[in-house]
């Protein structure tokens, strides 16, 4: 680890009254210099609470946009503007407008992993930690257009027993995770608990078998809830079905436990674009900045405010 970079980052943070927020999938070096690490909902809430004028957002573009919408008077820096999200890219605003036109009166419920333009066309926004509560907040008689993740949609539909019209989008990292992989690892570690992100393709099968076998060791959680669970549980072996970045904090909190990723190559190339050099450059130059245009921001805020206040 280059101590000069760490010192420079720390000095600039103080001089500029800046705070570093990092998502749980960030590389270990970036997590280690962050003031706050969390899931999408936790980071959005933290951005609102902070008094600092500058936030260096170590995550992906939609997360920085959300912070910009919630905190229009703060400078939101994203160290690499190319840090996107394959799931957010799976629907564009023209496609959503077309879908809405075919379903007049339907309520649009969008995952936080969407562009600000999509959020501006949405009634509710949600994250993996409050998806179920958000759907329960929609009046029973309303048709729901749920987007953009089909696996998360299937999970929420099963949990809430509400019929959803689900957009067929996916995240390239979680779509590759299979129930077969979980099953094989559980054969190797029969005393393990399984932590599954609801974006995983394995979710429906995992839910089906956990209900059928009355298996209480399978948990569907957001990244932050996975980390909390890994700390609280007495189990020594934990199978982790999400991007491998979460394991860094899990290991720090429970060094004596064994964390087994269902797939060691399950990494999000976008999250990994943020490096210490880029964080330093962002702090020095106060760019790249993510600023959402006012007309979009005002329209998107209602859906995002609901996300932040529910659950
Ligand atoms: P969380 O909100 O659970 O951290 O998930 C964000 C994400 O991008 C999952 O792929
Ligand atoms: Fe997007 Fe998937 Fe990366 Fe999460 S892991 S930021 S959903 S591409």
Structural domain ending residue among the three candidates 148, 166, 184: 166
Report the separation in Å between the CA atom of 167 and the middle of ligand 1, taken as the mean of its atom positions.
Answer: 18
Same domain, residue pair 244 and 178: yes
Q: Is the CB of 177 under 6 A from ligand 2?
A: no
Tokens of 288: 């790249």
Overall number of domains in the chain: 3
Return the pLDDT at 201.
96
Q: Is the CB of 222 under 6 A from ligand 1?
A: yes
Residue 98 lies in a domain: yes
Same domain, residue pair 147 and 195: no
Same domain, residue pair 160 and 212: no
Same domain, residue pair 233 and 161: no
Q: Is the dihedral of CA 58, 62, 65, 67 positive or negative?
A: negative
Same domain, residue pair 69 and 141: no
CA 16 to chain centre: 28
Over residues 235-264, the mean pLDDT reads 97
Q: What is the CATH number of the domain that holds 28?
A: 3.40.50.10800
Return the pLDDT at 3.
83
Question: Can you give the pTM of this predicted structure?
Answer: 0.96
pLDDT at 196 over 80: yes
3-class DSSP state for residue 290? Answer: coil
Over residues 222-247, the mean pLDDT reads 97
Ligand 1 atom index nearest CA of 226: 3
Average pLDDT, the chain: 96
Residue 22 lies in a domain: yes
Ligand 2 atom index nearest CA of 62: 6
Confidence of residue 2 (pLDDT cuts 50, 70, 90): confident
Same domain, residue pair 193 and 256: yes
Could you give the angle at the alpha carbon of 51 between the alpha carbons of 49 and 55, nearest 5°? 85
Return the pLDDT at 205.
93
Residue 231: domain span: 174-261
């Amino acid at each position: 680890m280059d101590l000069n970079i760490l010192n420079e980052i720390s000095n600039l943070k103080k001089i500029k009254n800046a705070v570093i927020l990092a998502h749980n999938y960030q590389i270990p070096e970036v997590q280690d210099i962050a003031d706050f690490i969390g899931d999408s909902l936790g980071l959005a809430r933290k951005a609102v609470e902070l008094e600092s004028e500058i936030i260096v957002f170590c995550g992906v573009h939609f997360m920085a946009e959300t912070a910009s919408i919630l905190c229009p008077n703060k400078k939101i820096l994203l160290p690499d503007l190319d840090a996107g999200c394959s799931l957010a890219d799976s629907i564009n605003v023209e496609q959503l407008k077309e879908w809405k036109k075919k379903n007049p009166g339907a309520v649009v419920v969008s995952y936080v992993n969407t562009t600000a333009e999509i959020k501006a066309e949405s009634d509710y926004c949600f994250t993996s930690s409050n998806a179920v509560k958000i759907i329960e907040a929609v009046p029973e008689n309303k048709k729901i257009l749920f987007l953009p993740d089909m696996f998360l949609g299937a999970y929420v539909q099963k949990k809430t027993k509400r019929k959803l019209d689900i957009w067929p989008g996916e995240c390239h990292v979680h779509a590759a995770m299979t129930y077969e992989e979980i099953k094989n690892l559980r054969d190797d570690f029969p005393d393990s608990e399984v932590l599954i992100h609801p974006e995983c393709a394995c979710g429906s099968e995992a839910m089906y078998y956990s209900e059928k076998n009355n298996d209480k060791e399978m948990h569907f959680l957001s990244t932050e809830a996975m980390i909390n669970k890994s700390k609280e549980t007495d189990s020594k072996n934990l199978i982790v079905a999400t991007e491998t970045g979460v394991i860094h904090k899990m290991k720090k909190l429970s060094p004596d436990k064994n964390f087994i990723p269902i797939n060691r190559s399950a990494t999000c190339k976008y999250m990994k674009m943020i490096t210490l050099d880029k964080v330093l450059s962002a702090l020095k130059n106060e760019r790249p900045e993510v600023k959402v245009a006012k007309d979009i921001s005002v329209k998107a805020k209602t859906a995002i405010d609901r996300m932040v206040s529910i659950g």
